[in-house]
Amino acid sequence: MRRGYLLLEDGTVFPGRSVAAGGHAFGEAVFTTGMTGYQETVTDPSYAEQLVTFTAPMVGNYGVDEGRLESARPHARAVLMRRLGGRAWAEWLTAHAIVALDELDTRRLTLRLRDSGAMRGVAVADEAELPVDDALGQVRAQPLMEGQALVAQVSTDESYVAAAGGRVSVAVVDYGAKRSIVRRLAAADAAVTVYPHLADPDELARHDGVVLSNGPGDPEPLTREAELVRGLLGRVPVLGICLGHQLLGLATGHETYKLRFGHRGANHPVLERRTGRVLVTSQNHGFAVAPSDGAEATHVSLYDGTIEGFDLPELRARSVQFHPEAGPGPHDAWPILEAWVRQLEEKAA
């Protein structure tokens, strides 16, 4: 096996062993605390342009299954692990041209990112092909995640029917939508059509409801997407998820900002203000809606007080920052999608 390394923009080097594709990958180094769901993580479009560190001590130990994919291809730029758990995982990463390192001190790396924040970096499969001294300048020349509008590179080019024959019709605006969202909507008996990120709001409004999906990058430069959301409010029921939640926030006068190291994992506690119940949730985002005491803020993070949900009944809109489809993750938030579809059925009856 080749010896490789991860280099962060502050000059910190983490040596490791290359276990997948050759070459190197630039991106933002982040970490996820999920103990399972490595395939779901790597194929989640919200991880576009990121080098993903798994805090779990072993990754790949339960094999590879095409049914676990959240999109047609990986979107994470590189995979960083303490220990590779199986050859099938390494072979899958190699087949998809993903740089992956194990024997990496992921504990030290996670603490570095937690204390200093997510950083630009490069994962290098062979240190002989790209020496550290040559790589550092290239890392620092990479764009910051702030200001990056990435949805265009992960959204569908054309609309398509993802699930037919439901009791209500739902449009999903694809900012990087996970397959689990479509599967959960279909399981709730919704017919689902997926649309590009800049779809015609009049066409979207013909459906019984509209889901604003998850997606990568900074929400602030997505001015056209926020304007599209603004054009839907009050016309049709809207449910935002993750980036969709942030866009709903921007469309209604809230601010977003970049988190120091993001919320990524399947164990994030969220307070449901109305009931006092705490949901354990699956999350993956590096940006957030700024804290607010407004009545429209229905859920808050128990980590940092960021807004994790909106309810705007006068605009027929609501949203959650976390992932109610739980792919992967706990099922505490599963009822959110089913309840929303049920409300659409009641209004359509």
Q: Kindly list the distances between the CA atom of residue 172 and the CA atoms of 1, 141, 203, 209, 283, in Å, as whole numbers in the listed order.
A: 44, 36, 12, 9, 19
What span, in angstroms and rounded, lies between the C-alpha atoms of 277 and 267? 15
Name the nearest CA neighbour of 8 among 30, 29, 32.
29
- 150: Cβ contacts below 8 Å, ≥ 6 apart: 48, 49, 176, 215, 216, 217, 218
Query: Catalytic one among 242, 245, 263, 268?
Result: 242
What span, in angstroms and rounded, lies between the C-alpha atoms of 202 and 259? 34
- 34: Cβ contacts below 8 Å, ≥ 6 apart: 41, 54, 56, 264, 265, 266, 267, 282, 328, 329
Q: Identify the three-state secondary structure at position 164.
A: coil
Which secondary structure element, helix H or strand E, spans residue 209, and what is its range?
strand 209-212
- Is residue 207 part of the annotated active site? The answer reads no
- Is residue 323 part of the annotated active site? The answer reads yes
- Is residue 203 part of the annotated active site? The answer reads no
DSSP secondary structure letters along 76-116: -SEEE-SSB--HHHHHHHHHTT-EEEES--HHHHHHHHHHH
Dihedral sign for Cα 150, 153, 158, 163, please. Answer: negative
Q: Kindly list the distances between the CA atom of residue 250 and the CA atoms of 10, 187, 220, 254, in Å, as whole numbers in the listed order.
A: 32, 30, 8, 5
The two tokens of residue 35 are 């103990």
Number of H helices, E strands in the chain: 9, 17
| Residues classed as catalytic | 242, 323, 325
